[in-house]
Amino acid sequence: MSGVVLVTGGSRGIGKAVVLSLAAAGRKVAFTYRDSEEAARGIETESRGMARAWKLDLADRSRPGLIVPEIESALGEIDGLVNNAAIRRDGLLASTSDADWDAVIDANLGGAFRCCRAVLPGMIARRAGSIVNVSSLTAVRGVAGQATYGAAKAGLIGMTKSLARELGKRNVRVNAVVPGLVMTEMVADADPEKLKALRAIEALPSGTLPEDVAGMIAFLLSDAARAITGQAFLVDAGSTA
């Protein structure tokens, strides 16, 4: 594939690693950010013009449908989508408010749904495309205090599998990547004891870097993965071995 890849949440962490990896390989990338415009512009510079940033808040339900034609008008047809943007509001389920539950589910699962819906008419018409949804180890191995986040990320895996069935005959592939503990800004405020426990179950002492996850995503977007769809790949330093 040689079209544009749209990466949500591309200004930091795993998303940033994906953007820079694809750009280094010669792919044109559109990526989104929510708050940090300065960081986003820095990535544009670092990518030497191969990546361009768009502002997107997944709470804005109308924005995905508007941003796709903007990107295609500026860069060309989108044939890859990486649903990476996410939010966390950790806490025990018994004390989780309806507002926090709704915000996490709507952003992490609903946002991915709306981004998929926005790119699919073009992919289906061209009979070509690859979507990668970024899930979480919490979806397959419970973490206390992350029931809401885990529910949203598990929903991504379910959506991945059903969407792969819907789109296979139109030559559009859909897969998920399930990262283990990746030390990014998103976990900077996590309980140190919880992080220690998660590291303790890893089989590989080196852990998982954002670039490790980005490598799997880049593979799944490529023609080398043309026979792979409907799968969820763990990149977790052996945590689930």
Instruction: Write the pLDDT tens digit of every residue in 172-229.
Output: 999 999 999 998 776 766 677 877 887 899 999 999 999 999 999 999 999 999 999 9
Active site residues: 149
Q: What residue numbers bound the domain in which 45 lies? A: 4-235
Whole-number pLDDT of residue 2: 77
Whole-number pLDDT of residue 186: 65
Residue 241 lies in a domain: no
Residue 31 lies in a domain: yes
Residue 152 lies in a domain: yes
Residue 106 lies in a domain: yes
- Enumerate residues 6+ apart whose C-beta is below 8 A from 204: 237, 238
Whole-number pLDDT of residue 192: 78
Residue 240 lies in a domain: no
pLDDT in tens, 99-148: 999 999 999 999 999 999 999 999 999 999 999 999 999 999 988 999 99
Whole-number pLDDT of residue 197: 80
Whole-number pLDDT of residue 34: 95
CATH number at residue 50: 3.40.50.720
In this prediction, residue 1 has a pLDDT band, given cuts at 50, 70 and 90, of confident
Residue 90 lies in a domain: yes
Whole-number pLDDT of residue 188: 63
* Domain total of the chain: 1
Under 8 Å between Cβ of 45 and 235: no
Whole-number pLDDT of residue 179: 97
Whole-number pLDDT of residue 225: 98
Mean pLDDT within 56-81: 97
pLDDT in tens, 70-93: 999 999 999 999 999 999 999 999
Residue 132 lies in a domain: yes
Residue 60 lies in a domain: yes
Report in angstroms the alpha-carbon separations of 55 from 7, 40, 70, 91, 115: 12, 9, 11, 28, 14
Whole-number pLDDT of residue 195: 78
Q: How far apart are CA 79 and CA 2, in angstroms?
A: 8
